Amino acid sequence: MRERRRRGNFTDAPASRENRTGQLCWGGYIQMVKAVQPKTLFLNLQAFFHRHWRKALPWREKVVFREEVSHLILAGCVGVLGGLVNFVFFLAIERVQLFFLHDSSDPVSVAEMLPAWQRAIVPALGGVLAGLILHWGPRLTGGKPATNLLEAVVAGDGRLPLRSGLVRALSSLASIGTGASLGREGGITQVTATLASKWGQLSNWPPYRLRLLVGCGAASGIAAAYNAPIAGAVFASVVVLGNFSMTLFAPLAFASVVAAMVSRSLFGIGPWYSVPTFEFTRLSQLPWFILLGVAAGLLGAGFLKLLRASEEQFRRIKLPIYVKLGLGGLIVGAIAMQFPGVFGNGAEMTNRVLGGRFPAGEAPLLFLGGLLLAKLLATSVTLGSGAVGGLITPTLMLGASLGAAFATALHELKLAENLPTTTFAVVGMGSMLAATTRSPLLAMILVFEICLNYSLMPPLMLGCVVAILTAGRLHDDSIYTEPLRQRGLELGRDSTAAGAAVERTVGDLMHAPVSPVRDNTPLSDVAERFLTNANNYLPVIDGPGRLIGVVALHDLKEFLGDGREVPGVIASDVMRPVPRFVTPGQRLTEALPIVFASELRNIPVVNSPAERRLVGSLARAEVMAILSEAIATDNTQRG
DSSP of 264-288: HHHH-S--SS---------GGGSHH
- CB atoms < 10 A from the CB of 140, how many? 11
Q: Can you say how many angstroms the Cα of residue 143 is from the centroid of all Cα atoms in its chain? A: 19
Residues 257-280: b if buried by 16+ CB within 10 A, e if exposed? bbbbbbbeeeeeeeebbebeebee
Lowest mean pLDDT among 98-107, 120-129, 553-562: 553-562
Shortest CA distance to 501 belongs to which of 350, 603, 625?
A: 625
Rounded Cα distance, 119 and 141, in Å: 33
**Helix, strand, or coil here: 500?**
helix
Convert 603-631 to b/e letters by CB count within 10 Å (16 or more is b).
Answer: bbbbbbeebbebbbbbbbeebeebbeebe
Query: 506-638 is classed in which CATH architecture?
Result: Roll (3.10)
User: Who has greater pLDDT, 148 or 432?
Assistant: 432
Residue 500's pLDDT is: 47
pLDDT at 78: 96
Long-range contact set of residues 136-140: C-beta below 8 Å, sequence gap at least 24: 137/163, 137/164, 137/167, 137/170, 137/171, 138/163, 138/164, 138/167
Q: Is the pLDDT of residue 232 over 90?
A: yes
- Please provide residue 558's backbone torsions phi and psi, each rounded to the nearest 5 degrees: -70, -25
CB atoms within 10 A of CB 600: 22
Confidence of residue 11 (pLDDT cuts 50, 70, 90): very low
- Of residues 41 and 385, the one with the higher pLDDT is 385
Region 213-233 average pLDDT: 94
> Residue 512 class from Cβ within 10 Å (0-12 exposed, 13-18 middle, 19+ buried)?
exposed
Distance, CA of 585 to CA of 367 (rounded, Å): 45
Exposed / middle / buried, residue 469 (Cβ in 10 Å: 0-12, 13-18, 19+): middle
Q: What is the DSSP pairing of strand 517-518 with strand 537-541?
A: parallel
pLDDT > 70? residue 2: no
What Cα–Cα distance (Å) separates residue 622 from each residue in 113, 503, 510, 513, 583?
Answer: 65, 16, 10, 15, 16
In this model, does residue 431 exceed pLDDT 70? Answer: yes
The answer to whether 130 and 387 have CB atoms below 8 angstroms apart is: yes
Task: Write down the pLDDT at residue 77.
Answer: 95
Identify the CATH number of the domain defined by range 67-267.
1.10.3080.10
pLDDT at 561 over 50: yes
| pLDDT tens-digit readout, 579-633 | 889 888 787 778 888 888 888 888 898 888 888 888 888 888 878 777 766 665 5
Burial class of residue 451 (count of CB atoms within 10 Å of its CB; 0-12, 13-18, 19+): buried
* pLDDT, tens digit (0-9, with 9 covering 90-100), for 452-502: 888 999 999 999 999 999 999 998 888 888 877 777 665 554 433 334 455
Using the predicted structure, report yes or no on whether residue 559 has a pLDDT greater than 70. no
**What's at 253, amino acid-wise?**
A
Asked if residue 619 lies in contact with residue 602, where contact means CB atoms within 8 angstroms, the answer is yes
Q: How far is the C-alpha of 622 from the C-alpha of 190, rounded, in Å?
A: 33
Give the per-residue pLDDT at 50: 61
Q: Which carries the bigger pLDDT value, residue 325 or residue 537?
A: 325
On the question of pLDDT at 576 being above 70, the answer is yes
Q: What is the pLDDT of residue 552?
A: 85
Residue 330 has pLDDT above 90, yes or no: yes
Residue % of the chain over a pLDDT of 70: 82
227: three-class secondary structure by DSSP: coil
Mention the CATH class of domain 283-486.
Answer: mainly alpha
Q: Quote the pLDDT of residue 45.
A: 67
Whether the predicted pLDDT of 157 surpasses 80: no
* 63-72, 208-217, 569-578: least confidently modelled range: 63-72
Answer whether residue 293 shows pLDDT above 90: yes
| Phi, psi (deg, nearest 5) at residue 133 | -65, -45
For residue 234, which amino acid is it? V
Q: Identify the bridge partners of residue 347 per DSSP, sorted by sequence position.
A: none
Q: What percent of the chain has a predicted confidence (pLDDT) above 90?
A: 46
* Same fold? 67-267, 283-486: yes
3-state secondary structure of 537: strand
More confident residue, 292 or 485: 292
Tens digits of residue pLDDT in 159-195: 888 888 899 999 999 999 999 999 999 999 999 999 9
CA dihedral 493, 496, 498, 501 (to 10 degrees): -30
pLDDT recorded at residue 520: 87
Helix 287-316 × helix 421-437 angle, to 10°: 50
pLDDT higher at 27 or 370 = 370
Which residues, including other chains, have CB under 8 Å from residue 300's CB and lie 6 or more apart? 431, 432, 434, 435, 436, 467, 470, 471, 475
Give the residue-averaged pLDDT of 93-106.
90
Please determine, for residue 403, whether its predicted confidence score (pLDDT) is greater than 90. yes
> Domain spans of the chain?
67-267, 283-486, 506-638
Geometric angle at alpha carbon 88, from 233 and 331, rounded to 5°: 90
Q: What is the mean pLDDT of residues 345-369?
A: 90
Separation CA 406–CA 372 (nearest Å): 12
What's the pLDDT score for residue 593?
84
Could you give the C-alpha distances from 455 to 280, 403, 405, 448, in angstroms and in order? 7, 17, 21, 10
Least confident range from 249-253, 254-258, 267-271: namely 267-271
Q: In what order do the strands lie in the sheet with 537-541?
A: 517-518, 537-541, 547-552
Read off the pLDDT of each residue in 94-117 and give the average, rounded to a whole number.
Answer: 90
